[in-house]
Chains A and B, each alone.
Chain A
Amino acid sequence: MSHLHSLKRHLVARYGAIIAITVLLLEGLCMFAIRSYYVNTIEQVLSNRVQLTADYYQKYVPGVTPLARAQKLLSSVDKDEVALVEVLDLQGQPVLDSDGFIADYRHTTPEVSAALNGQQHAWVGKSPLTGEKILAVAAPLCRDESRDTVGVLRYSVSLEQTFRVIQRLYIYCLLVGLIVIALVLALCYSLACRILLPIEDLTIAAKRLGAGAHDVRVRQRSQDELGQLAATFNYMSSQLDAAERAKNEFLSSISHELRTPLTSIKGWSETLFSGKLVDKPNQTQLGLEIICEETDRMIGLVEDLLDYSRLQVGHITLSLETVEINDLVTEVYQQLTIRLSERHIGLTLDLQQQLPLVEADDDRLKQVLLILLDNALKFTPPDGLISIRTRFEQDIVITVADTGPGIAPEDLPFIKNKFYKGNSKLPGSGLGLSIAQNIVQLHKGRLEIASPATGGTTVDICLPQSTPWTAGTYNWTSKANSTRQNLS
């Protein structure tokens, strides 16, 4: 089942990868947003302060020397200010910072350069002085109305603390992401199993079925499409099973049917051959008669089988002609009267005059009638009555009715099935009705069987009357056969 496992791996890997990429992208986006949010907020605050302080310097701070002004300015800065506030001269060197120091150092970082050029600017980076990550905002300091820059005001804060917070958030983010990915992979896996387990079941079952097992059933794990597939498979399997059983029953019934005449033939022929009956001409005669009759019985059986298999493959062609049903029925009736009188079974004929004509195969229709009459004969006790009637309703109906025991209701749905013999142990292949049904269907007619609880069986052959535009214009054949003929 390696291909199935690889399918499982595929499913998990593909979906896992898609989900992982998505999650990681979202994570990245999220992290970027967090960082931006923190840094921007701080920058915003610092920028506001720088702006305010610079405006204040421009308007209100008195003093002559830059140092004095710087002192004045820084003294106005809030005592709780966390940022380092510096006043730089035009070279970027601090004049004074909020801690009261004067550093001997020149700022060269971009925000200072920008401020020296008259632009307020914010910068995030590593402080060259402390090596810490810092956010620094610098603004030019101007005096009065003259827009000349006289120095630079610089606010800077360490971002180390902030970044630590951000880092912690990053880690949370990643953890959540990983958990999500793991969950998704697990879901993928279980989904793959859910899909593949039934498929695996089906594969194994199909293999067993192919290998000739008949009782193969798949567990139906769900009600979804795969569950339906399993149910369908089970249905198929049960149908195969039924077909197999029908075949076996047929084989055993056929072999019994063949064995009985064979036993007679073998028994009688060997008896005759052994010379035990040399001086008994009557028994010799009887033996020979039996051998002939039993041979006929076997021939009949073989004919039935051939007919049936031809009908199944559609090899039977109807040679259609316009048939007068009453004539056909009468002919069959006359054939049978002799046979019936021997067995003390009455046969009545009741014809409706002026029946419409029918497009039919004369011989095949006779065959159907004979099959039905043969069945009636088999099941009708001596002194019973068999009647043949014709009538015209929507179709032309030929009815064969007998006064036999009828058909058990539980057998009725199956009797047209091939090889079905009910409980009957009477001779016969169990093919007759199946053949009759096939022939009638080729005539586009119906075979209707009824057996009321009061006993007796009635079979109707319903044939459509011939329509003017089909009468004699073309030959109905079974479809498969017409193509076959065209090919040959």
Chain B
Amino acid sequence: MAKVLVLDDEIRIRGFIVVNLESNGFEVVEAASGEEALRIAHTQPDIQIALLDIMLPGIDGIEVCRELRQSYPAMGIIMLTAKEQEQDKVSGLEAGADDYVVKPFSPNELIARVNALLRRVTLVEQVSSSSEELICDPFVLCVSEYKLYKGEKSIAMTPTELAVMEVLLKRSGKAVSRDELLDAVWGPDYFGDPKIVDVNIRRIRRKIEDDPSRPFYIETVWGHGYRWHGESLA
């Protein structure tokens, strides 16, 4: 049973989220403040998914997200944002969130997002048992450790970033469209903003590129998507 952390200061919103998660077979832990959420996360490292509200008294959801991401690169994080402004979505994703849901949202949509993200998180776990490694000089994608090695240097990756990297590496040298990435990583039933792909690519570039403003390994294919610079593996 997957464990989900729900952080929202409004007990009424938390209430129905909990009811829906539980009826879909999730184990739920609740937090009413950012501080509480961090405390819970540290005592229960088996949390797989965190739903974080952004507008909170005390430390806000973005900060919680950043700290969780640092300590738990494998955790799936979905932001619950009350603002539709581009800035809020992006700042959440930049802080390391895998996805976001805009309030007011339908519980079913939220469950669908949680399930999609969970697939990604568990996919990584399944693969980890087979300890598969994708090698593409100078990178070694070590799925079991949620890590990418660039030469000797290890780079921590989130499940989403790992999934994106996996798709790109497996089709090294070929262009992958944004929609293909969206389908492969976020699932075919994802109905959020496709910009999420770009934000993740940007995040990955910042981690792996020598000069993120002039990316070398992940090329942009204008109007289409992205391509891993390198020899085809097949």
Q: Are B17 and A259 in contact (CB under 8 A)?
A: no
Across the two chains, which residue of chain A brings its CB closest to B10? A260
Q: Are B16 and A252 in contact (CB under 8 A)?
A: no
Q: Is A262 an interface residue (CB 8 A)?
A: yes
Q: Is A274 an interface residue (CB 8 A)?
A: yes
User: Which A225-282 residues have C-beta < 8 A from chain B?
Assistant: 252, 255-256, 259-260, 262-268, 270-271, 274, 276-277
A276-B23, A425-B56, A425-B57 known; A262 and B104 CB under 8 Å? yes
A260-B103, A262-B103 known; A274 and B108 CB under 8 Å? yes
Q: Which residues of A contact B83 (CB under 8 A)?
A: 252, 255-256
Q: Are B55 and A264 in contact (CB under 8 A)?
A: no
Q: Is A307 an interface residue (CB 8 A)?
A: no
Q: Is B106 an interface residue (CB 8 A)?
A: yes
Q: Is A287 an interface residue (CB 8 A)?
A: yes
A345 CB → nearest B CB, Å: 19
Q: Is B91 an interface residue (CB 8 A)?
A: no
Q: Which residues of B contact A276 (CB under 8 A)?
A: 19-20, 23
Q: Is A290 an interface residue (CB 8 A)?
A: yes
Q: Are B82 and A270 in contact (CB under 8 A)?
A: no
A192 CB → nearest B CB, Å: 48
Q: Are B105 and A277 in contact (CB under 8 A)?
A: no
Interface size range of chain A in the complex: 20 to 34
Q: Are B16 and A274 in contact (CB under 8 A)?
A: no
A122 CB → nearest B CB, Å: 99
Q: Are B104 and A267 in contact (CB under 8 A)?
A: yes
Q: Which residues of A contact B12 (CB under 8 A)?
A: 264, 268, 290, 293-294
Q: Is A283 an interface residue (CB 8 A)?
A: yes
Q: Is B45 an interface residue (CB 8 A)?
A: no
User: Which A410-434 residues have C-beta < 8 A from chain B?
Assistant: 425-426
Q: Is A286 an interface residue (CB 8 A)?
A: yes
A252-B83, A271-B107, A276-B23 known; A264 and B57 CB under 8 Å? no
A266-B104, A270-B107, A425-B56 known; A260 and B20 CB under 8 Å? no
Partner of A264, one of B16, B19, B20, B108: B16
A429 CB → nearest B CB, Å: 15
Q: Are A256 and B55 in contact (CB under 8 A)?
A: yes
Q: Are A260 and B13 in contact (CB under 8 A)?
A: yes
Q: Is B15 an interface residue (CB 8 A)?
A: yes
Q: Which residues of A contact B10 (CB under 8 A)?
A: 260, 263-264
Q: Which residues of A contact B103 (CB under 8 A)?
A: 259-260, 262-263
Q: Are A263 and B105 in contact (CB under 8 A)?
A: yes
Q: Are B55 and A283 in contact (CB under 8 A)?
A: no
- Bound together, the chains give a CA A464 to CA B17 distance in angstroms of 53
Partner of B15, one of A256, A268, A274: A268
Q: Are B17 and A267 in contact (CB under 8 A)?
A: yes
Q: Are B20 and A271 in contact (CB under 8 A)?
A: yes
Q: Are B19 and A277 in contact (CB under 8 A)?
A: yes
Q: Which residues of B contact A265 (CB under 8 A)?
A: 104
In addition to A268-B15, A270-B106, A287-B16, 20 A-B residue pairs with Cβ atoms within 8 Å of each other are: A256-B55, A260-B13, A260-B82, A263-B10, A265-B104, A266-B105, A267-B13, A267-B20, A267-B104, A267-B105, A267-B106, A271-B107, A276-B23, A287-B15, A287-B19, A290-B12, A293-B12, A294-B12, A425-B56, A426-B57
6 nearest A-B residue pairs (beta carbon): A267-B16, A263-B104, A264-B12, A262-B104, A263-B103, A266-B104
**A-B contacts, 26 listed (Cβ < 8 Å):** A252-B83, A255-B83, A256-B55, A259-B82, A260-B10, A260-B13, A262-B104, A263-B10, A263-B13, A263-B82, A263-B103, A264-B10, A264-B15, A265-B104, A266-B104, A266-B106, A267-B105, A270-B107, A274-B108, A276-B20, A283-B19, A290-B16, A294-B12, A425-B55, A425-B56, A425-B57
